[in-house]
């Protein structure tokens, strides 16, 4: 494939934008090649600046569950834009999207819109701290909840239960308030909670960890966290920015039957436009300004354009049979890939929940971040580049999830399966 124009655009971008991208993963560093610059998209396809066509399994990192440029979503955005993009004042559209989301999540009695997943989790954590009067939080290694300071933290060394920054610019004293545990390890959570009794405001997790590939919760893990939080007065924050409306209309909480005290959402509820949200029990949410004293705000929070895209998207995906179709497409791809990989000498492990999935380059299984780190990331890079060259756009990093859309056709899936066979030979 010819990428001359993308290469030129990358050089120009790097002259103005750090790394040439507005979000690091887009730079393809983990893929071992320069990024493609996208010019347009439609359905399951994206098209780069050189006119190359790709079957897209990134889908803007999850939002494009309907496929790109769904006519009804485009129409909703165009119609709203003709009346004004943003007013900095309340609109009925915000309440309409709030009603749709709350109808899908019985544990969300009140919800506030923001403009990114990071804002949603950052705000939920401040709310949990203000509501409980406690300062410490607990997260899981390998889970990503956006780039707020409290969340760019990893386990401290040795027996230290406090966290240390994963990024320069996060004060050590701040990171110390973030405890980190091993995903899917309830015993580890119990020992950390016991060592910090009465001091933890919240436990935050991805109910399906989509930022270390695709790691489902083991049986009893979510329920165990729920019981610990209830017993200890800790708020359980379930970050469904990625899984919300992805693995079921009611997200991972519908799938696994465990309810958080607070829920964070994003991606699909914006239909590709900037929307995040956090919500939960009225008693907790009403602690937020202007009702309560916990401050949280945003100029473009709930803006009409983004609300319109989200409303149009949720109305379409709540239609009868949508998730059954998505499951059938995802299972078809999985079965095809399993057959191909069974005949390959390359060690791979495929993990999937609904329309999100990951191919790990190792034998697996992957139940936590330490497991995920055993993957052969060089092999992933060679595989990724071969798939891209064959017109398949995968998530450009081993520790990311891929996403199915309802627009992917059987022809797309068959082409993908064939491409995998050739790509594994290149690994
Ligand atoms: P944003 O601030 O990027 O909108 O959302 C942060 C976030 C929060 N919670 C979860 C579970 C998430 O997956 C994310 C963001 N996901 C990544 C993809 N792994 C976004 C891609 C990127 O950073 O460019």
All CATH 3.90.1150.10 domain ranges of the chain, comma separated, are 4-69+320-426
Q: Look at residue 390 in the predicted model and tell me its pLDDT.
A: 98
* Nearest atom in ligand 1 to 401's CA: 19
Catalytic annotation present for 376: no
Annotate 260-286 with DSSP letters as a single string.
Answer: -SEEEE-GGGGTTSS-EEEEE-HHHHT
How many angstroms separate the alpha carbon of residue 376 from the centre of ligand 1?
Answer: 23
How many angstroms separate the alpha carbon of residue 23 from the centre of ligand 1?
Answer: 10
All CATH 3.40.640.10 domain ranges of the chain, comma separated, are 71-317
CB 201 within 8 A of CB 134: yes
- pLDDT by residue (tens digit) across 23-63? 999 999 989 999 999 999 999 999 999 999 999 999 999 99
What number of helices (H) and strands (E) belong to the chain? 14, 16
Annotate 213-264 with DSSP letters as a single string.
Answer: S-BPPPTTHHHHHHHHHHHHT-EEEEE-TTTTTTSSTTHHHHHH----SEEE
- pLDDT by residue (tens digit) across 107-161? 999 999 999 999 999 999 999 999 999 999 999 999 999 999 999 998 777 666 6
Tell which one of 20, 25, 211, 396 to mutate to probe ligand 1, the residue whose CB is within 8 A of the most ligand atoms. Answer: 211
pLDDT band at 275 (very low <50, low <70, confident <90, very high): very high
What is d(CA 354, CA 293) in angstroms, rounded to the nearest whole number? 40
Q: Look at residue 277 in the predicted model and tell me its pLDDT.
A: 98
pLDDT band at 241 (very low <50, low <70, confident <90, very high): very high
CA distances from 114 to 121, 289, 302, 306, 315 (A): 10, 14, 6, 10, 20
Signed CA dihedral, 98, 103, 105, 110: sign only:
positive
- Helices 186-195 and 221-232, interaxial angle, to 10°? 20
CATH class of 4-69+320-426: alpha beta
Closest to 196 (Cα-Cα) out of 150, 163, 241, 153: 163
CATH no. for 71-317: 3.40.640.10
Q: Which residues contact 167 (CB under 8 A, 6 or more apart)?
A: 147, 152
Q: Look at residue 426 in the predicted model and tell me its pLDDT.
A: 83
Helix (H, G, I), strand (E, B) or coil at 93: helix
CA 423 to chain CA centroid, Å, is: 26
Catalytic annotation present for 267: yes
Q: Is 271 left (phi over 0), alpha (psi -120 to 50) or beta?
A: left
What is d(CA 246, CA 207) in angstroms, rounded to the nearest whole number? 12
Kindly state the DSSP code that residue 150 receives in the 8-state scheme: G
Closest to 162 (Cα-Cα) out of 151, 176, 143, 149: 176
pLDDT band at 163 (very low <50, low <70, confident <90, very high): confident
Catalytic annotation present for 378: no
How many angstroms separate the alpha carbon of residue 145 from the centre of ligand 1?
Answer: 6
């Amino acid at each position: 494939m010819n990428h001359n124009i993308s290469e030129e655009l990358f050089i120009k971008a790097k002259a103005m934008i750090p790394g040439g991208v507005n979000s690091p993963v887009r730079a393809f560093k983990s893929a071992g090649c320069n990024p493609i610059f996208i010019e347009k998209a439609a359905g399951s396809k994206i098209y780069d600046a050189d006119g190359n066509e790709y079957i897209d399994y990134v889908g803007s990192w999850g939002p494009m569950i309907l496929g790109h440029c769904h006519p009804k979503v485009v129409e909703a955005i165009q119609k709203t834009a003709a009346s004004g993009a943003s007013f900095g004042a309340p609109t009925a559209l915000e309440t309409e999207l709030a009603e749709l989301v709350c109808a899908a999540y019985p544990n969300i009695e009140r919800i506030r819109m923001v403009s990114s997943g990071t804002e949603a989790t950052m705000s939920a954590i401040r709310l949990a701290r203000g509501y409980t009067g406690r300062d410490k939080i607990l997260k899981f290694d390998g889970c990503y909840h956006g780039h707020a300071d409290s969340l760019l933290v990893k386990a401290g060394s040795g027996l230290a239960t406090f966290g240390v920054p994963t990024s320069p610019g996060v004060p050590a004293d701040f990171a110390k308030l973030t405890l980190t545990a091993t995903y899917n390890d309830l015993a580890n959570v119990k020992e950390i909670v016991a060592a910090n009794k009465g001091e933890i405001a919240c436990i935050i997790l991805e109910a399906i960890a989509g930022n270390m590939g695709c790691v489902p919760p083991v049986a009893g893990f979510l329920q165990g966290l729920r019981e610990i939080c209830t017993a200890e007065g800790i708020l359980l924050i379930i970050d469904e920015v990625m899984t919300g409306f992805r693995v079921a209309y009611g997200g991972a909480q519908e799938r696994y039957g465990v309810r958080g005290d607070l829920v964070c959402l994003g991606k699909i509820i914006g239909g590709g436009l900037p929307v995040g949200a956090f919500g939960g029990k009225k008693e907790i949410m009403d602690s937020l300004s202007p009702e309560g004293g916990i401050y949280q705000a945003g100029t473009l929070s709930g803006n009409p354009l983004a609300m319109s895209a989200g409303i149009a998207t949720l109305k379409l995906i709540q239609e009868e049979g949508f998730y059954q179709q998505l499951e059938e497409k995802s299972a078809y791809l999985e079965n095809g890939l399993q057959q191909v990989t069974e005949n390959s000498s390359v060690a791979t492990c495929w993990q999937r929940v609904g329309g999100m999935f990951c191919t790990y380059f190792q034998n697996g299984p992957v139940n936590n971040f330490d497991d995920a780190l055993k993957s052969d990331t060089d092999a992933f890079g060679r595989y990724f580049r071969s798939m891209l060259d064959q017109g398949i756009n995968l998530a450009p990093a081993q520790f990311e999830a891929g996403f199915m859309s309802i627009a992917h056709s059987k022809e797309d899936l068959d082409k993908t399966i064939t491409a995998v066979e050739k790509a594994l030979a290149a690994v």
